Copies of this chain bind each other. A is one copy, B any other.
């Protein structure tokens, strides 16, 4: 396989051990998040937020509510990847730049709003699913962007969501979907974990 993107996908592995001396500056962190937001979201909702925890004090605060995981303080930054409960009323704002750019005909906006309303209104589980979907579209993209920059990453679900929401002032409608540490891997990390045989996970129809 000599396509660099396919090779990167094929060889990626999760980093568990980070070099604590390695830091990222805010411009590098911003570039990671800018690329993450190029991920797709339903209706272009972009119902996400990224909190880049990179100061020693806030890293320690996050680690205390995240199973005391060392990678939170050893990595350069841990992103709290936040998903927002999907709400069709946010769409007009998110679609306005498409209309202004001449990409989307203005009369189409109402149709998308109606479709989103039919999916999400009074359906809290669908609103939540969409928060998780968007957050993970963004987080996965950030993982590959970090890899392309020579960095390692560690997605984590071992944390107290209520405590994270309280310490980092999430809104009622926001869900901390994932923690994602990024930094320089040490040489002692595990190799890629074996995957299930394809026959167990792929069916044709």
- Contacts from A to B (Cβ < 8 Å): 3-6, 8-10, 12, 14, 26, 29-30, 33-35, 37-40, 42, 44, 46, 48-55, 58, 94, 97-98, 101, 103-104, 115, 119, 125, 128-130, 132-133, 136-137, 139-141, 143-145, 147-149, 155, 157-158, 168, 177-178, 190-196, 198, 201-205
Q: Which of B9, B34, B53, B103 lies in contact with A190, CB distance below 8 A?
A: B103
Q: Which of B3, B54, B194, B202 lies in contact with A52, CB distance below 8 A?
A: B202
Q: Which of B143, B177, B191 lies in contact with A133, CB distance below 8 A?
A: B177
Contact B130 A133, beta carbon cutoff 8 Å? no
How many of these chains are in the complex?
A: 2
Q: Which of B54, B103, B143, B201 lies in contact with A48, CB distance below 8 A?
A: B201
Write the nearest CB–CB distance from A64 to chain B, whole angstroms: 14
Residues on B with beta carbons closer than 8 Å to the beta carbon of A168: 205
